[in-house]
Amino acid sequence: MTMDKRLSSCIVTASLLMTATGCSTQKSGTIEPQSSVAIFDSFSYKGMDDFYSENPLPDASSFYNPILPGWYSDPTICTNGEGDYFIATSTFTYVPGVPLFHSRDLVNWRQIGHILTRESQLNNFQHQHVSGGIFAPDLKYNPANKTYYMITTNVGAGNFFVKTTDPFSGEWSDPVYLPEVQGIDPSFFFDNDGRAYIVNNDDAPEGKAEYPGHRTVRVVEFDTNTDKCIGQRKIVVNKGWRPQDKPIWCEGPHIYNINGTYYLMTAEGGTAEGHSEVIYKGKTPFGPYTPWEGNPILTQRGLDSSRPNPVTCAGHADLIQAKEGDWWAVFLACRPIDGEFENLGRETFMMPVQWTEDGWPYITRENEAVPMILRREGAQRDPEFAFGNFESTTDFTAPELGHEWMTLRGDAADMISLKNNPGHLTIACADVSTADKDILPFIGRRVHNHKYECATSMTFNAEHPDQNAGLVVMKDESHQYLLAKGCDEGGKHIVLRKIDRSGSEDLAKNAIDDSNDSVCLKVVSKGKTYDFYYSTDGGNNWNPIKEGVDARHTSTAAAGGFTGTTVGLYASNKR
């Protein structure tokens, strides 16, 4: 059985729209504590962003941008030409890897599974930073052999691809590694004549960088019959579209054949506020490529950071032509608070692509802001897939968890179970803390809103002062908040613990009665701050343990890295 089948099910994006049921410590009968095991009764999520409550969608053809809110970075899109569209995004060291979304109209997106679900596809994650692992997937359909390919970089193992003829099956091949393709961000290009190519980002020529961020784009031909590269790799871009300006990080490349003209598109400027997308034209897949004088074709740099609802860091795009003929681009961008920080990570946005009279595509022009409400003529938004301020509850009664749930660095099925106590999720305490670079006794999900509320109910009794379990807000190994039940010489308590680079610090600790086996735990994000609460009466009354806690600590601005914040459940034998 694959990791995806163990840890998720067809309770997919639609399940996110159930009404939250709140915190309840009982379903049927009394759950007795078990030695060194935390037993979770439910987990609820509720989005509360001002933008969504103040800006309802105007009609059934309108939709919110980002189309995949929360940490869904490095999007790639493809179509089979028959009206099916697919998006995949990065997952780094989270497991299962590379979520796969499907749509028939580019507006309503349903997650149908993950592409990387087996240990043979996900290796060498242990001891990696949260932002290691799987970088920047590229998803393409080859009509010549009716096969879907996903190619990506595992920073601990190299560049590889997997493939399938049925993306709905959830079964993709074992990885085929490509040692001759060095660098990162590989992408397939399948030409109209049946020939195939791989384009990717690599080091400067002969490894001699003239300045930090000096990179190249290289192309090599690929044989789909032998699954091997053939011929020599050729540098098609050195430095970027204006070499004299010393551009940095010409990455995330894609090649397209549009009416006989070859287009090469790359990101430039890094993944922060200077991020952008540029375009070139060529007569063959190997170029030579000429950049457009109107570049960049997408960026948000230079806009007033104090503008309402700013979208920043836009880039790493991919293009698609719909069956109706219109062109669209998916790309990553961020939604910072006050232009300073955010916990959502890099999200997947979408915009229409426009064309100049002389055949250049563009997404934004000078000082054009990425809109947060868009419309696609003829599409009918299904409320089941509208995000915004949705509510959801996982009550752990289904035989498998939904696709939104993830573990870190590997399959944690030996620690996490839905079978030990039917109707409950159990996590066995392990000799691993959430700050360790290891497979964790942890399961979490992305947050999708600046303002949100998460709650869980848990039965757990710590057996020694280092043992604890509860709710965790996690950015990476050294940027976390733990709201946990534990014990010390004084008896049982609820503790709020901050994890940072120097170790751990208890921000607050409240004693609870030793008769309390079950507690409810809740975090309320107000965007800039977190409020943490607990309840000993099934959620009827909530006690604040600490309010106004700095949310910047779990943001990319404070922690760096490429992921967003996740919130989840854990149990551990270590502080």
Q: Catalytic: 395?
A: no
Contact 349, 65 (CB under 8 A): yes
| Nearest by Cα to 565 from 486, 458, 454, 463 | 454
Give 52-85 as a 3 state SS string. HHHCCCCCCCEEECCCECCCCCCCEEEECCCCCE
Q: Determine if the peptide bond prior to 56 is cis (ω within 30°).
A: no
State the DSSP H helix or E strand holding residue 546, giving kind and residue range, or none if neither: strand 543-550
Which residue's structure tokens are 């952008």? 276
- Tokens in use for 528? 């800039």
Contact 133, 92 (CB under 8 A): yes
State the DSSP H helix or E strand holding residue 558, giving kind and residue range, or none if neither: helix 556-559
Q: Indicate the burial class of 39 (C-beta count within 10 angstroms; 0-12, 13-18, 19 or more).
A: buried
**CA-angle at 124, arms to 119 and 128, nearest 5°:** 125
| Nearest by Cα to 320 from 87, 569, 1, 559 | 87
- The residues pairing with 408 across neighbouring beta strands, listed in sequence order, are 94
Residue type, 140: K
| Nearest by Cα to 117 from 3, 285, 243 | 3
Determine which one of 41, 74, 105, 476 is catalytic.
74
Cα separations in angstroms, 244 against 192, 238, 240, 484: 35, 11, 9, 55
| Residues 169, 171: Cα–Cα separation, whole Å | 5
| Nearest by Cα to 405 from 427, 429, 438 | 427
Determine which one of 105, 251, 273, 342 is catalytic.
251
**CA-angle at 109, arms to 105 and 110, nearest 5°:** 130
Q: Catalytic: 251?
A: yes
52: region left, alpha or beta (phi > 0 left; psi from -120 to 50 alpha): alpha
| Terminal-to-terminal C-alpha distance of the chain | 33
Strand-pair category, 147-154 with 158-164: antiparallel
Q: Mapping DSSP to helix (H, G, I), strand (E, B) and coil, where does residue 554 land? A: helix
| Residues 85, 83: Cα–Cα separation, whole Å | 6
- Helix, strand, coil % over all residues of the chain, rounded to 5: 5, 45, 50
- 449 CB neighbour count, 10 Å cutoff: 25
Task: Find the radius of gyration of the CA atoms of the chain.
Answer: 24
State the DSSP H helix or E strand holding residue 493, giving kind and residue range, or none if neither: strand 491-500
**Mind telling me the catalytic residues?**
74, 251
